[in-house]
Structure 1
Amino acid sequence: MCGVSPARGLGGRWQGRFGVEWLGADLVLLRADSSRWPSPGNVLVVLDRDGAALVDCGFGTENGMEALEAGLRSVGRSLAAVHTVLCTHPHTDHAGAAASLAAGRRVLVPAGARAILDDPALVAEAILPPVVREFAPWLADLDIDSHFQDECGAVALPPDHAVEEVRPGAVIRLGGYAWTAVPTPGHDAHLMCYWEQRTGMLVYSDLLVTRGTAIPWYAPGGGGTGAYRESLRRVAALEPRLGISGHGGLLEGPHAVAISIEATERQIAARTERITAALARGPATFAELERCVYPPAVHDVIPWASSVTAVHVTEALESGAAKAGDGVFVATGGLG
């Protein structure tokens, strides 16, 4: 498979709060669970003579750390054997354990993300920024920072800990693999995918549609739909042969990866089309426009889903395709 010999002794079988899937003799996909988070977080474990390196590290909650430790033990390593943590982006369902793991370890984050790991409150602000609360005043009292602390273990990195910032195009060598950093803003302004050219593997984190999640998800400040779609074109040009998600299973084979890229693109375009059509029908409230993006059940699970609608509304306002007034939005007949 993609130049990596599959050895699936545990084949994704769940064991308590974690599951493992061997991708090769030195490569394991670990699914570490948390308490109430909507889906387990994937951690790619690279085994080497010095111990183990992690691409993303999952939840920093007590049971998240227990799941990570148990998963590592199941593949013959201990938590103490981890020497490197490479983060795709600072969202706390992927980097929540970074602070707990930092001592004595090499920590790498996308360029510009260090400040967010230093102050976890910035994660909440990026995911549900003030403009969203202005559009959706019913979210004004939502304490999303405490929510992330409780469910993802969002604590600050030690202030004196050295952190390496990964710039676009940088090559990070972990074990027998060379991972090239591919900037893919959209889901998050700092999202970095990691491409292993020899094997055709792409760690795409939250970039692509994954079954059982609300992806594609994005917020104002993440780069907008234009940046997101450009990121999709960038990874499509790599022609990956194995896609490794931040949640859920694998995309095995170039066809599966291509289908996911196309599906992600279609979802973003379809949301724009549905919101444009709703605005054209007459004045619409933000709550009405939200139903063009996600059903109410999604908002019940992730109340920050409103951020996606806010991106589309903001882009319509900034392009001149819509205008706002008296608590409603309406098409202008302009650039939409």
Structure 2
Amino acid sequence: MRHPFCHPLLPDAIQVLERGWLSSNNIVFAADEVPTVVDTGYVTHADTTLTLLQQALTGRPLGRILNTHLHSDHAGGNAMLTAHFGCETWIPPGDAALVDTWDEDRLSYRRTGQQCPPFRHDALLQPHSVVSLGGEDWTVLPAMGHDHAMVMLWCERLGLLISADALWQKGFGVIFPELEGIPGFAEQAATLDLIGQLQPSVVIPGHGAPFGEHDGAVSAALAAARSRIQWLSEEPRRNADNALKVLLAFKLLEAQRMTLDELAALVQASFDGNPAMRDLYPADPQGIAAFMADELVRVRAATRDGEAVVAP
């Protein structure tokens, strides 16, 4: 009997715990000799993550965490799960030194106003190495663009790609390197080209449901993503505007209610940590926060209550 977390596009050995914001999906390989989860969600969802994992593992202890990258919505459950299960944590090598010293500034947690309890790592997911998951070989592939340290996992025999935030059915993650003055648009385009060359039959994204090529969804997602990266690269302010809206919406979902002053403080923190973003805007965090609050209301990501915005 298939487990309720199994997906019709996937083998029974792979369970996808599809999460809503604030958490990334958790991809579980419960029957492995070393039961493994790929990505662990956000810290405020840690109790739910543990409950869902225990259901997926059906009593077996988690033995290993693999992180596609270390953004807080993908690694925020690491500390709790390692404390509970005593499991190993494997991370991409690009951020290993930052984890060793726990540099919250360079790991992006401080400037985004997001939480991620400190965790250790036991091994590295070296690009082009192979890991065993669900009885299959998965190749670790670099996935620059959204986060230059990010990796994807590719099972050639099954045609399955764990794409993290490089490709969703509707888009991809914010191109954060560009906000620091580091090229990222061309790198994201190259990652999309790599995915196109792989020709996956099914993509398991970092957010949202798995989608397949049986109905053309993978090709459609790639075409839309290529169009979007071209549109973003034509005017960098578009990427910065998107980043601010995403960061503010994320924090609002966590806090549930924020004043305009609190939003302005988050805008200022984003500017302080992202010099290229700061150069794109006037020195008016309060005005920008008010504008972004109106944008969140316009797209129904928030409602207004006087001088505060409230999560829907």
SS for the counterpart of 1:156 is coil
Unaligned runs of 5+ in 1: 1-5, 13-20, 129-142, 276-288, 315-323, 328-336
Aligned runs of 1:152-231 on 2, under 5 Å? 154-158=116-120, 163-211=122-170, 215-220=173-178, 223-231=183-191
Which residue among 85, 100, 105 is the counterpart of 2:80?
100
SS for the counterpart of 2:147 is coil
- Once residues 291 and 89 of structure 1 are traced to their aligned partners in structure 2, the CA distance between those partners, rounded to angstroms, is 20
- Once residues 39 and 301 of structure 1 are traced to their aligned partners in structure 2, the CA distance between those partners, rounded to angstroms, is 10
1:120 to 1:97, Cα distance in 2 relative to 1, 3 A? farther
- Once residues 226 and 189 of structure 2 are traced to their aligned partners in structure 1, the CA distance between those partners, rounded to angstroms, is 6
Aligned to 2:230: 269
| TM-score for both structures, normalised by structure 2 | 0.69
Unaligned runs of 5+ in 2: 251-265, 284-312
Which residue among 37, 47, 52 is the counterpart of 1:66?
47
Q: Is residue 130–residue 140 contact of structure 2 (8 Å, CA) maintained in 1? A: yes
Bigger helix fraction: 2
Aligned to 1:81: 61
User: RMSD in angstroms over aligned alpha carbons?
Assistant: 3.7
Residue 76 of structure 1: how far off its partner (Å): 4.7
- Once residues 53 and 128 of structure 2 are traced to their aligned partners in structure 1, the CA distance between those partners, rounded to angstroms, is 29
Aligned to 1:257: 218
Identity %: 22
Q: In the alignment, residue 242 of structure 1 is paired with which amino acid?
A: V
- Once residues 26 and 11 of structure 1 are traced to their aligned partners in structure 2, the CA distance between those partners, rounded to angstroms, is 8
Bigger strand fraction: 1
Q: In the alignment, residue 158 of structure 2 is paired with which amino acid?
A: T
Residue 66 of structure 1: how far off its partner (Å): 1.6
Residue 290 of structure 1: how far off its partner (Å): 4.7
SS for the counterpart of 1:24 is coil
Residue 11 of structure 1: how far off its partner (Å): 7.2
Q: In the alignment, residue 155 of structure 1 is paired with which amino acid?
A: P
- Once residues 198 and 291 of structure 1 are traced to their aligned partners in structure 2, the CA distance between those partners, rounded to angstroms, is 36
Residue 108 of structure 1: how far off its partner (Å): 1.1
Q: Is residue 23–residue 29 contact of structure 1 (8 Å, CA) maintained in 2? A: no
Q: Is residue 51–residue 83 contact of structure 1 (8 Å, CA) maintained in 2? A: yes
1:69 to 1:51, Cα distance in 2 relative to 1, 3 A? farther
| TM-score for both structures, normalised by structure 1 | 0.65
Residue 67 of structure 1: how far off its partner (Å): 1.3
- Once residues 152 and 32 of structure 2 are traced to their aligned partners in structure 1, the CA distance between those partners, rounded to angstroms, is 25
- Once residues 42 and 114 of structure 2 are traced to their aligned partners in structure 1, the CA distance between those partners, rounded to angstroms, is 10
- 2:98 equivalent to 1:116: yes
- Once residues 107 and 93 of structure 1 are traced to their aligned partners in structure 2, the CA distance between those partners, rounded to angstroms, is 16
Q: Is residue 216–residue 267 contact of structure 1 (8 Å, CA) maintained in 2? A: no
Residue 23 of structure 1: how far off its partner (Å): 3.2
Aligned to 1:234: 194
